Amino acid sequence: MKRCAWPSEGRRILVPAWALFFALFVSFVSLLGALPACAVPVLNLEDCLRLADENSPTLAGAEAQRDSARGLLSQSAVADRVTLSGTVTAERSGRGGEEGASYSAGVSAGLKIFDSNRNRYRIEARRQNLSKADADAENTLLSVHAAVKQAYAALLLKLRTQEHREQSVMAHEQRLEQAQGFYDAGSKPWYDVTKARVDLGNAQLALVEAQGSVSLAKKELLNAMGIKRDEDFSVVPVSFDVPSELLASAPSLALENRPDYRASELSLLGGEASLKAEARGSSPTLSLSGGYSASGSQAFDLTQGWNAGLKMTVPVVDGGEVKAGVAVACAQVRSLEASREQLRQKILLEVGKALVSLENAREQVRISGLTLESAEENCRIAEGRYETGVGAPLEVTDALLNLTEARLAAESAHYALHTAVIELERAVGLEFHGLSSSDRAPAKTPEAWRLP
C-alpha cells in the first residue's frame, strides 16, 4: 500500500492560478458578508419637514418671487438718488486734404429735489408688494408642510394596514393548520381545509395589495418633500390632535394668522399707495443738474468748462393720461377690497368645515374603537365554538374578516382625525405639529438624498 508523503524541504509546490483566484474571491465575499448592512433611514415628521424646506422646488420658487420684489423696490428707490455719468470721446476727421481731431471729456450729475411725493408713494407700493411676497412665501411654506403631513399620515395608514393584513395572513395560516389537524383526526370534513385555503389565498392577495400601497405612499411622501431619488426609508408613528381650548378661538386665529389674508391686506395697501402716486401725475417736479467738461483739438490742451442748473417741469396738457391712470388705480383698489372680503368669507367657511370634520373624526375614532372591541370578542367566540365542534367554519371566516375590517376601520378613523387636524392647521394658518418658524433647524438630509 502506497502512502502519501509530504514533499521534501527543497521541493516547490505548484498551485494552479484558478485555485488562487477562487481562494481570493471566497475571502472577498466573506469580508463583504462580515460588513454591516446599510441601515435604512428612519425619519420622523420633523425630519420630513426639514427635508421639504431644503429640497422643495415650490419653496425655491417662492423665494425667487421675494427676490424679484426686492429688486423692484430697489429700482423705485433709485429715482430719489443722485445720478452720475461720465463721457469720453476722441475722433478724427478729414476734408479737402485737411485732417483734424477733437477730444472731449465730461462728467454730469443730477438729483430730483421735489416731485410732490409721487416716487415716495411708488416706493411705498413696492414695499407693500415685498411684504406681500413675504406673506405669500409663508403661505407656500404652510401649503408644502400640509402636503408633507398629509403624505406622512397616509403612509402611516398604509403601514398599519399592511401590519393588519400580515396579522390576517397569520391568523388564516393558523386556521388552515387547525382545519388540517381536525381533518387528519377525522373530526372535520375536507371542506373545512379547502375553505381555509381559499381564505388564506384571499388574505395573501390583500397583503400584496397593501404592500404595493405602502410603496406608493413612500413615493408620494418623497415627492411632497421634493426628493428626486427613490430611496427606501421608514417613518416613526405620530399622533395628531388639537388642544380643545383653541377650537373656540379658531375663526379669530385664522384672520390673525392666515398668510394669504395678510397678503390680501398688503395688496390693498399697495394699491392705495399706487393710487396716491397716480394722483400726483400732474404735479410739478423740480430737479438739480450740473456738470464739468473739457474739450479741444489737442489731447493735452483742452478747454475746461462747467454748468449747473435748476429745472422745474409743470405738466400742462397730457391728453387725459393722468385721469385715466387714476381711474384704473381706483378700480384696482375696489377689486382688491372685494377680493379681501371674499377671502375673509372663504377663510371663515374653511375653519367651520375643518371644525365639523374634526368633531366627526373624533366621533369616528370613538365608535370604531367600540366596534373593534366587539369584533375581537366575536372572533374569540367563533373560534371557541369551532374548536368545540359546535360552530361552522363559515362563522370563523366571517369573524376573522369582520375583525380585520374593524381594525382597518379604526385605522381609517385615526387617519381621518389626522387629516382633519391638518385641514384645521391649514385653515387657521398655524402649525400645531411639526416645525414652527422660530425653531426650524438646518435639515439633516441623508447624503444620498442631497441635491447635486
Q: 256-282: per-residue pLDDT in tens?
A: 999 999 999 999 999 999 998 888 888
> What are the tens digits of pLDDT across the range 123-155?
888 899 999 999 999 999 999 999 999 999 999
The sign one gets for the Cα dihedral 193, 401, 212, 173 is: negative
Q: Do 348 and 417 meet the contact criterion of CB atoms below 8 Å apart? A: no
Distance (Å, whole) CA 157 – CA 58? 26
Q: What percent of the chain has pLDDT over 90?
A: 44
Report the pLDDT value the prediction gives residue 361, as an integer from 0 to 100.
92
Report the pLDDT value the prediction gives residue 16, as an integer from 0 to 100.
57
* Confidence check: pLDDT of 391 > 70: yes
- Strands 98-114 and 83-95 turn out to be antiparallel
Q: What is the mean pLDDT of residues 323-347?
A: 94
Per-residue pLDDT band for 38 (boundaries 50, 70, 90) equals: low
The length of the chain is 452
> What are the tens digits of pLDDT across the range 88-103?
888 887 776 677 788 8
List of E strands, 35-82: 42-43
3-class secondary-structure state, position 125: helix
Per-residue pLDDT band for 447 (boundaries 50, 70, 90) equals: very low
Torsion of CA 419, 424, 425, 428, to 10 degrees: 160
- How far does Cα 123 stand from its chain's mean position? 32
The sign one gets for the Cα dihedral 251, 253, 259, 264 is: positive
What does DSSP assign to residue 442?
P
Distance (Å, whole) CA 277 – CA 431? 39
Per-residue pLDDT band for 220 (boundaries 50, 70, 90) equals: very high
Report the pLDDT value the prediction gives residue 434, as an integer from 0 to 100.
56
Report the pLDDT value the prediction gives residue 302, as an integer from 0 to 100.
79
Report the pLDDT value the prediction gives residue 433, as an integer from 0 to 100.
67
The sign one gets for the Cα dihedral 385, 388, 389, 394 is: positive
Q: What percent of the chain has pLDDT over 70?
A: 87
Per-residue pLDDT band for 436 (boundaries 50, 70, 90) equals: very low
Task: Show the cell assigned to 351.
Answer: 375653519
DSSP string, 144-200: HHHHHHHHHHHHHHHHHHHHHHHHHHHHHHHHHHHHHHHHHHTSS-HHHHHHHHHHH
The sign one gets for the Cα dihedral 402, 408, 414, 415 is: negative
> What are the tens digits of pLDDT across the range 11-33?
444 445 545 555 555 455 455 44
Q: Do 88 and 162 meet the contact criterion of CB atoms below 8 Å apart? A: no
Q: What is the mean pLDDT of residues 378-388?
A: 87
* Confidence check: pLDDT of 413 > 60: yes
Report the pLDDT value the prediction gives residue 36, as an integer from 0 to 100.
47
Per-residue pLDDT band for 255 (boundaries 50, 70, 90) equals: very high
Report the pLDDT value the prediction gives residue 28, as an integer from 0 to 100.
52
Q: Do 400 and 199 meet the contact criterion of CB atoms below 8 Å apart? A: yes
Per-residue pLDDT band for 1 (boundaries 50, 70, 90) equals: very low
Per-residue pLDDT band for 80 (boundaries 50, 70, 90) equals: confident
* Confidence check: pLDDT of 6 > 70: no
Task: Looking at mean pLDDT, say which of 37-41, 291-295, 432-436 comes out highest.
Answer: 291-295
Determine which of 268-272, 284-288, 334-338 has the lowest per-residue pLDDT on average.
284-288
What does DSSP assign to residue 214?
H
Q: What is the mean pLDDT of residues 67-91?
A: 85
The average confidence (pLDDT) of the chain is 83
Report the pLDDT value the prediction gives residue 11, as an integer from 0 to 100.
43
The CATH code for residues 41-89+101-449 is 1.20.1600.10
Q: Do 128 and 324 meet the contact criterion of CB atoms below 8 Å apart? A: no
Q: For the chain, give me the number of helices (H) and strands (E)? A: 9, 6
Report the pLDDT value the prediction gives residue 188, as an integer from 0 to 100.
81
